[in-house]
Structure 1
Amino acid sequence: MPAYWIAHVTATDPARYKGYQSLAPEVFARFGARFLARGGASDCPEGAEFDRHVVIEFPDLATARACYMSPEYQAAKAQRDGAAEVMITMVEGL
């Protein structure tokens, strides 16, 4: 059953955030992830507003979790830490 990362992001230091953007896609590819939405126009009728919204499909929830916990993703995340406000939810699909 597929699973999804739903990420809401506001880059507070766009130059530093580029370090994350240069590393993360390769990690996602290694875990069989597929981007369904990345940036683009959006509306936020409820809740906290973020600048970017990203939806990434994984083969299953275990793979999504493994990707997040992988040393490679944690290295990418270290580039993002302090450079963006981020909320990530992992959810199992139907």
Structure 2
Amino acid sequence: MPVYLIADVTVTDDAWVPDYAARVHDIAAKHGGRYLSRSGNIETIEGKPLGNTLIALIEFPSREAVHAFADDPEYAPFSAARKAGSISNFHIIDDTDLAGGIPYLPKG
């Protein structure tokens, strides 16, 4: 079952960004990850703005693949740099429909 990693990031020191942006795509791809979006064009249409610098949405084939990516020793220095230079939150969601009203999604 595909899952989606949502990374919401507020950059506090952008020194890590160029190297991270250039290299992490390949590490995610090694684990079946595919970036669907990595954007700073964030518009809040309802509720409180997050104040984020960027949000990335990455599709992975499974939760295990996301954890393999996050735990990959090759990713470790990039993760450490991101954590040192930002306030970051990573969330995993799957493609189930908790309310059961979307016919093309599995019921949660």
Shorter-chain TM-score bucket reads: 0.7 to 0.9
Larger RCO (alpha carbons 8 Å, 6+ apart): 1
Give 5+ residue unaligned stretches, structure 1.
none
Q: 77-86 vs 2-11, which deviates more? A: 77-86
Structure with the bigger percentage of helix:
1
Question: Within 2, Cα distance between the matches of 1:60 and 1:93?
Answer: 11
Give the TM-score normalised by the residue count of structure 1: 0.86
Aligned to 1:49: 51
Partner of 1:9: 9
Question: Could you tell me which residue of structure 2 aligns to residue 31 of structure 1?
Answer: 31
Quote the Cα distance in structure 2 between the aligned partners of 1:69 and 1:32. Answer: 14
Report how far residue 91 of structure 1 moved: 1.7
Q: Structure 1 residues 78, 22: CA separation in 2 closer, same or farther (over 3 Å shift)? A: farther
Q: CA deviation at 1:43?
A: 1.9
* C-alpha distance in structure 2 between counterparts of 1:49 and 1:71, whole Å: 30
Which structure has the larger Rg over C-alpha atoms?
2
Q: Which ranges in structure 2 are unaligned for 5 or more consecutive residues?
A: 97-108
Q: Say if 2:79 is the partner of 1:77.
A: yes
* Alignment length (residue pairs): 94
Alpha-carbon offset, residue 40 of structure 1: 4.2
Residue in structure 2 matched with residue 22 of structure 1 by the alignment? 22
